[in-house]
Every structure is written in structure tokens, then in C-alpha cells.
Structure 1
Amino acid sequence: MTERIRTVMRWTMAAFYIVAGAGHLLRPDAFLPIVPDWVPFPREMILATGVCELAGAVALLTVRLRTLAGVMLALYALCVWPANIKHAIEGVHLPPIPDSWWYHGPRLAFQPVLIWWALFCAGVIDWPRGRAAPRDRKSL
């Protein structure tokens, strides 16, 4: 049963990252206002995140790359959190995304869940049911 849940979550996450990655690549300038000032080359960074999202989605669906993809997508979600925080705190308006705390509050609170999701659906962790079972390196 757990493996079926992981599979559904994996496909859902991959679909989410394909849509997000396409958005970053097709409309990078739309994301510029939420990039923190300390990030160098903001437009190029947005394009790079789009590529990372697409690569992560494909890797998540690839058995040999799944574990790596889960870890990298979890780290990715952690790394983009400052943009989400800036978006919320500075009240940056990015249509069609709502700019109220009814949107930003849950979005910010969901970021740790997104990190967990990447790790769980890739089989890196089993929490809340326990630790992930050790894997035979040949099966990765």
C-alpha cells in the first residue's frame, strides 16, 4: 500500500514540477520581483530553476535516479523558500497568484511538507511510518 501511495505522490510531484519548470522557462521575467536582492543574476537563476524543476521531475520518475532526485528536489524546495518569504513579506503582486495572507500563510507553511514529500515519494524516508529500508545499491 505504501508503494502505491509513493507512486501517486511521485507522479503528482513530477507533474507539479513540470508545470512549474515550464512556467519558469516560458515567463522568467514574471518571477523577477520575488527573487531576493542578494541572488546574483536573477533572470538566469530563474531559468536555471526551471531546468532544475524539469530535470528533477524526469529524474523522479526514473528508477535509477529517484533517490538523488528526491534529495535534490527537497534541497531545491529549501533553496527557493527565501523567494516565497520575500513574496509574502513584501506583498509582491504577481497575477494571477493571490497576494493575501490566505495564500501566503499556507504556502509558507507547506514548504516543509513539500520537502518531506520529495523525500518520501523518492523512498529516501518512510516517516511518519519509520525509517526507509536500506536499499541494495544495485537496485538504485
Structure 2
Amino acid sequence: MVASRLRTVLRWLLGLAYGAAGVLHLAAPDPFVSIVPGWVPAPYLVVALTGLAELAGAAALLQPWSHALRIAAGWGLAAYALAVWPANFEHMRMDMAQADGGLGFGYHLPRLAFQPVLIWLALWVSGALSRFRSA
């Protein structure tokens, strides 16, 4: 019961966070474009597409009608978090190269370390990991 309630609360928090991030990617793309690694083509298009992916993932995660769609959202958001991880490394590299050291390791290292947790969380709150539980 407690785990179920916790999963629901965290699913809503994660969905709202991804929804807010999606809106920000679309409404104010410049900060996101600035950390897109140089090897990624068409940074503005990529940022817009990531914003749309976040919004779609959030909507699918929060909808109440289809458990299968929530599971698909979990897999999609986990893959998304993995795919954008290089941008976090690029942000740290660019930021730490500033004369003042930017935001510093105290900001960047926890952010980088949290990405696998975010991946796991998307899978757990969506129910995607339930099929892997042993009886």
C-alpha cells in the first residue's frame, strides 16, 4: 500500500517535472541549445523535439486509462534521459572551463550521478519494471 502510494506520488512528480521541462524547452530554448554538444546537428530543432518528447512522455505517464501506455512512457522517458545525458556532460565541460569555474563540481557531479536514478525512476513509476519481478 505504501509502495503503491509512493509510486503514484513520484509518478505525478516526475510527470509534472517532465511537462514543465518540455514547456521550457519550447518556450525558452536558448539555455538548452547552449549545452547541446557540437557534434549534434540542428541544435534548435533537437531542443524543440526534446521538448515535445518530454511533453508526450509526461502526458502518457500521467494519463489514467492505459497501463500499457504508462509502461511505454516509462521506457520512452528512460531512453530520453539516457539520450540527453551527453548534454549534461557538455554543460559541465563548458561551465567548468569558465574563468570562475562556473557552477562547480558541487552542482554538476550530483546532476550527472542522478541521471541513472532518473532513468530507473521512469521505469519504476510507470510499472515497466513490474514484469521483471520474480515471484
Shared fold by TM > 0.5? yes
Paired position in structure 2 for 1:21:
22
2:107 to 97, 103, 109: 103
Paired position in structure 2 for 1:137:
none
Paired position in structure 2 for 1:46:
47
Paired position in structure 2 for 1:138:
none
What's the % identity of the aligned pairs? Answer: 50
CA RMSD across the alignment: 2.1
Runs of 4+ residues deviating >2 angstroms: 130-134
Paired residue total = 127
Asked whether the 8 Å contact 1:123–1:132 carries over to 2, the reply is no
Deviations 1:5-42 (A, max 9, x none): 11011000011011111110001122111000111110
Consecutive unaligned residues in structure 1, runs of 5 or more? 135-140
Give the TM-score of the pair, scaled to structure 1.
Answer: 0.83
Shift of 1:133: 7.3
- What is the alpha-carbon distance in structure 2 between the residues aligned to residue 101 and residue 50 of structure 1? 27
Are residues 1:30 and 2:55 paired? no
Are residues 1:11 and 2:15 paired? no
Asked whether the 8 Å contact 1:6–1:121 carries over to 2, the reply is yes
Residue type matched to 1:87 in 2?
A: H
Indicate the structure with greater helix content: 2
